[in-house]
Structure 1
């Protein structure tokens, strides 16, 4: 029997996932039984023979089904099986061993034209309420009234299709080369499907011939037995019977030799299937390597986010210091106003007391001292005002430079977007490379969604050139090293979507500082 295996990340997850899946299967079986007039489908605990799986062919099976929606299953019943009223179609989680391990089922309808010699397309509807809720792999199976599986579909999952949030930097020439290789892989995949279908037909014909040969051998054995247990009345025809027996044994030997030849041809077909499965496993190893590289890129993005957060904190501290300086400046201005008022008041008093200079001599000395202090304060105030004017002028100059840098930044951003415009095309080409399949899986007839990994890995590598500094890298450079080099040229603003060349670090710092002023 064909099995499909999927590994999880840790034993704890496997155990929790298994318990949850068993509970869901139990609930769905109870609900399916109530929905089908409380009748359990006929099953068998005997390990099944996969040679009978090609008697019902499932068609139009998708790789993914959206959870929460009904599913229509299409299949063809071959002429080698007679549909009966208790036949049913079930959903089995990949890895099942007997017909009793179904998740849910529906009764299979009888064909409209049972006497027709052509294969008739049948369909059944599975309601969304009774379908699995996890993302494990499942397959449709057709089970007859005797509990024997007569057909199995390719595996599928219940999950919504999402795009991978990955950034891949590549050149236009490499994109065209990947597109050409994808076209070649699709053509080879189609040829493999055709060869597989031809091998299946040949296997079916060989099985029919083998069955006919076994029946004929059994008939010959019956004839030999009758000849050996004949009565004494046939003694007179003993010579004739001996000749008939020899002829029957010769024919039996020929049939036996033909059976051995058919068995050898069957073994050759099995070896071809094993070769296809080994090729599929090699492709899965390459897919896992690519995923590890993408995970490393995600880790680098996390470290960049931490640096941006520290920059934001430093900007907040600078803004706080600026507010304190402005507050001190306002207090100083208030103090100057008060001192000016006091100076005017003292001058008025001096004019009023000019007639009593001698009596107020000591008081006048005190006033002179105060006047000296006020003059010193006024001088300091004038210096502060001068510095303020210089800061205003510097701010205006900085604002002009910032406007010019903003224009330069927009120009660089447009150039950057033109260099990165081909990235979305890469995400549209993952059907043969990014498709994930469970490792160590074995299907009855192979997985038709995989591609031929026979192409050497060296053919997928092209000369890499940095779009920022035109540096050329060797063919054997790692994907992570190349991506790190390209990212090292870019600086992204933590407040907006602007990006800057790494050589313009001062422009980047001024831009971030202006955000802090706003």
Structure 2
């Protein structure tokens, strides 16, 4: 199988006119290693050596070209160096710096233009004094199409420049969006850290509630002990009911004391009611906080469930406290009755009186200890309520900060949506530009096809071509070379032969200067 060429010729025509400049379009593939010594020559079909070229041009690449990349290029062959119109076929050949043939084009011929068949008339206005006169210009349609083609190429260059500017703007927008996305991620991480702190605070509050439950268990244990003692006293009460009738006087004194004790109990009950109302108010606040927290982020919902569990535990504690208060009132009544019985027994039996006095003193001490414990529990409960209020205020502040952050996130989302809309608009404009570019390319292709058809149909009288280059045979060793093969002193083969003498070889700029001077001479003639 033949190896694929590293250089591909594009849009090679079948016919060319020697009186016009010939453009050779070609593409360099990534496999080709370009050098500034590469050149493109026009060879007559049947050539056997790279020295048998008719004319050549240096293979130039556009600015900013990087090696091992594909790029489209164009080489120009000026009219004064082209062969005369004959039926012989020629082809473009790409030769690298080592003299190796990289690619060949399909054959084409140079034909003489036919007599002019199609002309175009243009009106041109000129100012002469006060009036205006119109001039009719008759030009070939090919020239008119050539000017239109040049305008299309200029317009295409402008569109390409606008496309590059739009592409740069899109890249800048992408960088800005990337920066904003990074900032948004940083803010999200900060919010996650704040949520973790809130969870830790809730865990501390749950631990405090567990401690309260343990203290409540201790109170329960003390209450059970009291109930056992009360059961014993009730048993003694049943035994001593017959002796109570004789001790009514002592009962009156004890009733007065009972009234005082009842007053104290009522005061305690009022305090308990106030505490219960305050707890209910706290419950309502907590419930409102829970209702507001339900509409927050999904991550905070777990925290709300824990708060509800803690509220449920607190309600259980309140119920147990209420039961304790009721039991306490019952125990106070039963203790009072027990004291009455003990007083009656003291009047009858001295020994039992001493024992009952000791038991009454012990019960009084236990009651004072219980009152002291209740007061301490009350103070602790008040401290806990203060801490709960502080926690609620702190939660309120955190909720306000969270709302502010959510508002900022909403604004950021709006900005992001605006940026996305601008990107979509830019993409739509780019699509329009691409469509216009494609239409321009189609028009250009149509014009090129039409120009080729016109070139086949045009008929211009043959003109004598000036001998801008020296015509002669090739070297003595090349007998198969064409009879007329013009060469200049800046030939790439001459340069390759004179590599050891760089001062005698001409550079590509000198070659183009010679071509330009020959064009000027042709125009003057």
CA radius of gyration, larger in: 2
Same fold per superposition (TM over 0.5): no
More helix, by proportion: 2
